[in-house]
Each structure stands twice: as structure tokens, then as C-alpha cells.
Structure 1
Amino acid sequence: MDPLDDYLAGVRTHGAAFCGTLSEPPWSLRITAPAPLSLVAMPRGRGWLTLQNEEPVLLEKGTISLVQAQLPITVSDRPGGAALVEIDEDDQCTLPQDGRPWQLTPTLLRDGEHAPGHGDLLVTASYRVGTERTRPLLRALPPVSVVHADGPLRALLEFVVAEVDSTLPGQRATLDRYLDLLLVQTLRVWFDTPGADTPAGYRALADPGVGQALRALHKDPARPWTVAALAAEAGMSRTAFARRFTALVGSAPLGYLTEWRMTLAADALRSPEVTIASVARQVGYNDAFAFSAAFKRVRGVSPSAHRALARSDADAPSALTEDAYGPAAPA
């Protein structure tokens, strides 16, 4: 278990649209209410991705884009192309000219005069990210990030193309699993791009000592960790470990631990069945009062206030893309 594993826990494909435009342009797809995280890939041909009020981004053959801005997304064969098909928040497809329903399938716009394997191919997928632990990942991503598929990523994209062109049973289930893997591989490539922002601790995983301690911490966050215990996991002296951890991760070891524990607690508190005392024990606190004080210091609100806010705003995506409580207080 490492930070990226935790950030992506529970993130799964929620519906996907596969557009094989095997006829002549124009073609255009508009997602009117995208999920907090969307993937747009161009395995064949080329297209243009446009966020509302933003300049179009060219998607050449073999490019994959991650979009984490919850603004309408348009992908078309040319910049500024009018939407020919729209997808709403319920994954319902309509023709915007008259509002008629449209069945979006892997053969969208495919006519019987063309064989699979030709023309432009656009693949989009939406990911529901309904946990607090995903927030560090989303904060690190820009509104639009574009990578060029190479190596393992290119091979995976080729699997997606082959499955889109397939007529074998279980196509949707297979594609959903490919797209989950495609998201992870695309994130790896993006975070390894020079100059890209990364979630806390991501780059530190490459360090033999600090990386080992981070994995141990994420594997068992409720353990009564001390700096000395984490240093032992890293095979380093306490002083050297604390200095190196802080330099690589950006916060002191126990401060990072407290922040992560409160993130896990914020997720657990969304369940009405659990008590604050039980959540405290889940994240390593035997004293519910000490847990509540730590939660309020880090999250800015008490556990009970967080729970009330989560219940009243359970379906609001903004809580996952922004800090609804303002800047987090230092641990």
C-alpha cells in the first residue's frame, strides 16, 4: 500500500462513451456535467478538447487527457465544433438540436459502409471519486493534463482499441477494467513529467528509506507510530530520517500521519452507522476527545460538524475538488 493506492481506493469507471467516427467529419461530443475526474483518449485520428471558456487543446493520435475541472467538455474534429451529441450527468445522450434520445454505443456514428479499424476513435470515461482520500490527487492535477502514450501506456491503449472494435460478449465489463488501469498508468506518466505537481509523498516513494516508511504508514495508519518507529522501517537514524522525510514529503513525519488519519476519518464519518468513538479507534486514537481535538485542528471543524455537512451535501462534488472548510490548519 502506498499513497497512490490510497488516493485511488474506490475510484472506478462510471460509464464510458466510445465513439468510432468512421464516416466523414464533422463529429462532436459534449459532456454537459462531467464527473470530478474524466479521461479523454484519442487512439486513432485527432480531435480537439475544449473546456468552457478555455482555448481548445489538440489531441493527436495516441494522446490521453485527464480533465478534473467540472465544466462542460467538448471534443470534436475541429476547434469550436458545435455539439452533435450531448451526454448529461445521468449518462443520457441526446441530440441537442431537438432533444431526442441517442443511444451511445461502441458503434456511435458507425455506418455499414465502413469496417472497424478506420477513422477517428475517441474514448471517454468518467470516474466517480466520492472519498476524501482522493482530494490530494485532484489538487495536484491541473484542469487539463495531456500525455502521449508510449511503452506500457501505448500497449494498454491498443488493448482498448482492440476491444472497442470487438464484438465479443462482455465488452463493457472488459472496457471498464481496461479504463481503470488506463487511469492509473496515465497518472503515473503525468506525475513523472518534469515540472508536474504531485500529491504529498508521491515522489518520496522513490527514496529507499522514506518510501519504505511511507508504505508502512499507509498500510497501517492506526498503529501507534513514533518517529523512531518510522525511522526503523526506513533503516535510518531518527534524526536523519526526520530531516529527509520532511525534505521529500513537505511535512514532518507525525504531521503527515495526523493529516492522513484525519482524511481517513473524514471518509469514515460519512457513514451514519459509525460512532465518533469507533472512528477514533479506526485511525489510532483510544481517546475520542483527543481525536476530536486533532480532527478540528486539521480539518477546521469538529467531527460532528463534518458529519452534518457531509449529510447535507452528500451529492455535491465541490467537496472533493476544493477544501470546503478553507485551508487546513497545521498538524
Structure 2
Amino acid sequence: MDALSGLIDGTRAQSALLNRAILEPPWSLRIADGAPLALATAQRGYAWIVPDDAPPALLNEGDIAVIRGSDHYTVAHQPELTPQLIVHSSGRYTTLAGVDVTDELRTSTRTCGEGSADATVIMSGTYEVSGEVSARLLSALPRVLIVPGQETCRAAMNLLAAELSTDAPGQQVVLDRMLDVALAATLRAWFDRPDAQTPGWYRAQSDPVVGEALRLIHDDPSQPWTVASLADKVGASRATFARRFTGLVGEPPMAYLTGWRIAVAGDLLRTSDATIEAIARQVGYANAFALSVAFKRVRGVSPSRHRSSHLTA
């Protein structure tokens, strides 16, 4: 599994909230759902995405936007417009005064609003992502990224839009998987753009030496990898491999390996009831003590404290 696949695999949609909004200009929505990651497209018309901490970004018809971070932001017909409605985490709409108007706006299970041929149509989906692996992907993204409508991305969003228009059994599972496909296609298209500030691990995937080493690390962190063993696996000398890996990824092989192991361990501590000893062996540490030392050095807390903090959250 390549590095991007490994990170996206940790960011799967589960009962994702998908919605289509039909809006007559001039319109403005305050997005207060607190979702760590959102995907949106303008099916008709255009929209401005206006974060409080970043410049407005124009979403043209067919474009796809990924919005990172749980901070509130505005989506509007024009960036200077004052929001008329607030969108909450449950998909409910309220006025600025707090009056719930969802039922008045809802025209079908996942569609709000109706309008003329000039109305803007925005389709969006949100991810309630959490965990260490997901955080590694989110940290590589800007606050808002926009990918112009391309064949693969547009096809994925068109399939999602078609499914959103029906109300068939098992629909939520289908929508979740379609949203995953759309997100993966959009991120890959964005990372491949010449002007994108892509992280080192993504650029390194195309390197025959370092890319293979990244796949080995992601596929099997339980192996007792060393610089020498990784270099041997990819057919390079130890010195050449270490220099090449550091230059492309931005950190030495063992530092990257440790980061990945701790991320995987953090998610296992949060989502499974396996013992710390079992998790330690699963991510390449000899025993619970070795994992505890590494985990506390990287995260500042012990594995048991990390687990208990999520259980009480």
C-alpha cells in the first residue's frame, strides 16, 4: 500500500452526512458543523468559501473543494454577504436567531431548498474523522483546496449526486464508499498539481527506491526494520538509501518509521481492546515497555493515558 492509500484508508467515511442545498442568489450560509473534513462541489452555479482565517476561495461549477479543520466558515454567493442561515452538525438549518427551519427547507431526505434554473446547487459531504493516521493526512492539506472539475473527479461526484437523488436500501453505505472514492480522486488530483505544496512522502512515492521503502513501512510496521534492512530490500546501499530517503521525505527513515508506528498504535489504542503488549508487537516494538517509551517520547503521554483519555472523551 502506498503512503497516500494508507492515509486515506484511515479516513474512511462512516455514516457521513451528505446534503444538497438549492439556493437562490443572493445567499450565504454559515457552516458550524465542526466537521474536521468536508468535500463540496458546485453542481450548478458557483460559490465562495470564506474561512475566518484564510482568503476567500472561488468554487466554480464542477470544481471540487476540500475544507479542512473544524473551525466555522461561510459559503456564499458573494464573499461579503452576511450569513442568512447556520448549518449545524446534525444537518439542521437555523436562522441567526436560532430558529430551526430545517423542516421548512427540506424537500427530500438529503435536499434542502428549491429554486429556479438560476439557483445555485451545492452538494457536500462531511467526515467525522479522528485518530493519528487521519491527522497525518489532514496536516498535509491547506485550509481550503480546490480542484477544477476533471474527468475522474467529476465522474466520482456525478455518481455520488445520482445516488443522492434516490432513496434505496443500503444507501448510506453506498454513499459512504462513493464519498471515499471522490475524496481519494480529489486529493490525488490536487497533490499532482505543479503548484500544490505537496508533502515529501507524497513526492517520494514515485521514486523507485524511496517509494518502495514507504510501501514496506506502511504495509508491515511490525517488521524489525532498520536502515540497513530497508536499504537491502530496495536494492540500495545503506548510505545512499538514507541520504535519498531524507532528501525526498524530509526526515530520516527511522524517524518516519517511528512516526508511522506511533500513529498506527494511537489508533489501535483508541479503537480496539487489544492489550498494549499486543499492540506493541503489531507495530514493531518488542514489548509494551518499548512502545510506552517511544509513545511517550513522541506524544508526551503514555499509551494507557492516551487510551483512557479517549474512553472518557
**Same fold by TM-score greater than 0.5:** yes
Report the counterpart of residue 150 of structure 2 in structure 1: 150
**Structure 2 stretches lacking a partner, 5+ long:** none
| Counterpart Cα distance in 2 of 1:90 and 1:203 | 37
Taking only aligned residues, the RMSD between alpha carbons, in angstroms, comes to: 2.5
Contact 1:32 1:89 (8 Å CA) reproduced? yes
Report the counterpart of residue 29 of structure 2 in structure 1: 29
Contact 1:149 1:157 (8 Å CA) reproduced? no
Contact 1:51 1:72 (8 Å CA) reproduced? yes
| Counterpart Cα distance in 2 of 1:122 and 1:236 | 50
Residues 179-258 of structure 1 mapped to structure 2, 5 A cutoff: 179-258=179-258
Give the letter aligned to residue 138 of structure 2: L
Contact 1:12 1:128 (8 Å CA) reproduced? no
Q: Deviations over 1:200-233 (max 9, x none)?
A: 5221111112111211211111011222321233
In structure 2, relative to structure 1, the CA distance for the partners of 1:242 and 1:176 (3 Å cut) is: same
Cα shift at 1:155: 2.5
SS at match of 1:145: strand
In structure 2, relative to structure 1, the CA distance for the partners of 1:124 and 1:271 (3 Å cut) is: closer
| Counterpart Cα distance in 2 of 1:34 and 1:189 | 25
Cα shift at 1:172: 5.1
| Counterpart Cα distance in 2 of 1:84 and 1:131 | 34
**Structure 1 stretches lacking a partner, 5+ long:** 315-331
Contact 1:246 1:253 (8 Å CA) reproduced? yes
TM, length-normalised to structure 1: 0.82
In structure 2, relative to structure 1, the CA distance for the partners of 1:167 and 1:280 (3 Å cut) is: closer
Report the counterpart of residue 16 of structure 1 in structure 2: 18
TM, length-normalised to structure 2: 0.87
SS at match of 1:31: strand
| Counterpart Cα distance in 1 of 2:157 and 2:271 | 37
Residues 101-116 of structure 1 mapped to structure 2, 5 A cutoff: 101-103=101-103, 104=106, 105-110=109-114
| Counterpart Cα distance in 2 of 1:256 and 1:79 | 40
User: Comparing 82-91 with 239-248, which one deviates more in the overlay?
Assistant: 82-91
SS at match of 1:202: helix
Cα shift at 1:32: 1.1
Give the letter aligned to residue 46 of structure 2: R
Report the counterpart of residue 168 of structure 2 in structure 1: 169
| Counterpart Cα distance in 2 of 1:277 and 1:167 | 47
| Counterpart Cα distance in 2 of 1:126 and 1:293 | 36
Contact 2:30 2:72 (8 Å CA) reproduced? yes
| Counterpart Cα distance in 1 of 2:175 and 2:304 | 40
| Counterpart Cα distance in 1 of 2:176 and 2:255 | 37
Sequence identity (%) = 43
Contact 2:200 2:250 (8 Å CA) reproduced? yes
Contact 2:25 2:119 (8 Å CA) reproduced? no
| Counterpart Cα distance in 1 of 2:114 and 2:174 | 21
SS at match of 1:34: coil
Report the counterpart of residue 39 of structure 2 in structure 1: 39
Please tell me whether residue 86 in structure 1 is matched to residue 91 in structure 2.
no
Report the counterpart of residue 264 of structure 1 in structure 2: 264
Contact 2:18 2:110 (8 Å CA) reproduced? no
SS at match of 2:78: coil
Aligned length: 306
| Counterpart Cα distance in 2 of 1:148 and 1:272 | 39
| Counterpart Cα distance in 2 of 1:6 and 1:279 | 18
